[in-house]
Structure 1
Amino acid sequence: MIGLGNPGPRYASNRHNVGFMFLDRYAQRAGCTSSFVRETNYELLECGNVKLVRPLTYMNVSGLAVKALVAKYGVSVDDIIVVYDDVDLPLGKIRIRQKGSAGGHNGLKSIIETLKTDQFIRIRIGIGPKPEGVDLAQFVLTDFSDQERVVLDKVLDVAVQAVQTILSEGVQKAMSLYNSVEVIT
């Protein structure tokens, strides 16, 4: 499972780092007691039979880290789940898909180009909407407000449940259960 974000403390709480936040929440909920270990250009935490991966290449070139992961561990595209932020999805919602375009997300675009396929599971976590008149790059690199953080915490738990469903019952079941869920405070 690959969570997208940007490395370093400057970006830790940014909207664009929802993928990293998700991995931390997943590890916590799954009871993983070890820590992420740095590999070439990503961090890896083996949590049971699930590999949690944080690319350290910055968002727009996430595919480089995925390429290194696939080369080292022989990870099949069928076993990849990518979790990332989506500005076009409102905060409080997730969307699970089995395949599809990058939808304007440069991190996902980099992964699709590197793997030469869009046939992998992805979970989009809503961070929108972007306020009118605010630059997209500026918006995704801002932190969540305290009120938004309350919603995000609940959404991260829903996303963890969705992944557990994918792993145990399949992506179709997870899509039917979680694509219509909206977290409201």
Structure 2
Amino acid sequence: MSGHRKSLQHRLFGSVRRRASADLDAGAAEDLWLLVGLGNPGPRYAPTRHNVGFQLLDELARREGIAVDKLQKKAATGRGHLCGKRVVLAKPLTFMNLSGDSVSALVQFYKVPLKRLLVIYDDLDTDVGAVRFRAKGGTGGHNGMRSISQRLGGKNEFPRLRIGIGRPTSSIPIASYVTQPFTSSEKREVEGAIAEGIQVIETLLSLGVERALSGVRV
């Protein structure tokens, strides 16, 4: 990591503890899941469309009382239990386009099989507030997912949860659109999508991928 990027991470996440605690050692339990929300670090991006993966993970952490405050493998991480499974919650701090640097390192560190890696991210091709869960798939042109796939050796056989942000109705460039905050009406829809997304995650961990795909919710 360059000195500039390391310095930037420390400025943005000064409260994130530098050393993971002893219960975050490599070779974690066989039932451990790695739940990753994608976004861009820092308060400037926190309320934006591209950060809905962070937003869902933050809400899940709040509900479960998991502090996502440890700096590990270029991510803010926190560990706890959800639906009887051990989980590591992670928010890559690399900025969206380099998400794979962090995710691949965490997968290797915890020896997590791809079937127990869940990535949560925004989707331009899905209506605002819609939730889509898939057991595997392509990157769909999403820069964060493209980075993850590349760093995992082209593998895409891991579950993913997409939260719709819709496409712009005007000629605004996509890069500008995704870094804009949601409108007031969209916020209500996204809040509902986050709640639904958490239900999907709970079903996935409790009942497995097939039941989650079928629409069953716990």
Query: Please, what TM-score do these two structures have when normalized by structure 2?
Result: 0.78
Mapped partners of 1:129, 1:143: distance in 2: 14
Mapped partners of 1:176, 1:33: distance in 2: 28
Residue 47 (structure 1) shift = 2.2
> 2:199: which partner in 1?
161
Is the CA contact 1:85–1:126 (under 8 Å) kept in the aligned structure 2?
Answer: yes
Is the CA contact 2:103–2:148 (under 8 Å) kept in the aligned structure 1?
Answer: yes
Mapped partners of 1:40, 1:102: distance in 2: 22
> 1:181: which partner in 2?
none
Which of these residues, 22, 32, 40, is aligned with residue 65 of structure 2?
32
Is the CA contact 1:95–1:175 (under 8 Å) kept in the aligned structure 2?
Answer: no
Mapped partners of 1:149, 1:72: distance in 2: 36
> 1:99: which partner in 2?
136
**Greater radius of gyration (CA):** 2
1:138 aligned to 2:176?
A: yes
Residue 33 (structure 1) shift = 4.4
- Name which structure has the greater RCO, CA cutoff 8 Å, separation 6+: 1
Is the CA contact 2:66–2:79 (under 8 Å) kept in the aligned structure 1?
Answer: no
- Superposition RMSD on alpha carbons, in Å? 1.3
Q: Deviations over 1:147-179 (max 9, x none)?
A: 11111111100000000001111122212217x
AA paired with 1:123? L
AA paired with 1:47? G
Mapped partners of 2:148, 2:66: distance in 1: 29
Which secondary structure does the structure 2 equivalent of 1:100 belong to?
coil
Identity, % of aligned positions: 41
Is the CA contact 2:73–2:106 (under 8 Å) kept in the aligned structure 1?
Answer: no
User: Gaps spanning 5+ residues in structure 2: where?
Assistant: 1-34
Mapped partners of 1:163, 1:63: distance in 2: 21
- Number of corresponding residues: 177
Q: Deviations over 1:30-54 (max 9, x none)?
A: x224342112410111021111000
AA paired with 2:172? V
Which of these residues, 123, 127, 131, is aligned with residue 161 of structure 2?
123
Residue 26 (structure 1) shift = 1.0
Residue 128 (structure 1) shift = 0.6
After superposition, the Cα gap between the structure-2 partners of 1:33 and 1:170, relative to the gap in structure 1 and judged at 3 Å, is closer
Q: Which runs of 4 or more aligned residues in structure 1 lie more than 4 Å from their structure 2 counterparts after TM superposition? A: none
1:87 aligned to 2:121?
A: no
After superposition, the Cα gap between the structure-2 partners of 1:113 and 1:33, relative to the gap in structure 1 and judged at 3 Å, is closer
> 1:183: which partner in 2?
none
Is the CA contact 2:38–2:120 (under 8 Å) kept in the aligned structure 1?
Answer: yes
Mapped partners of 2:170, 2:212: distance in 1: 33
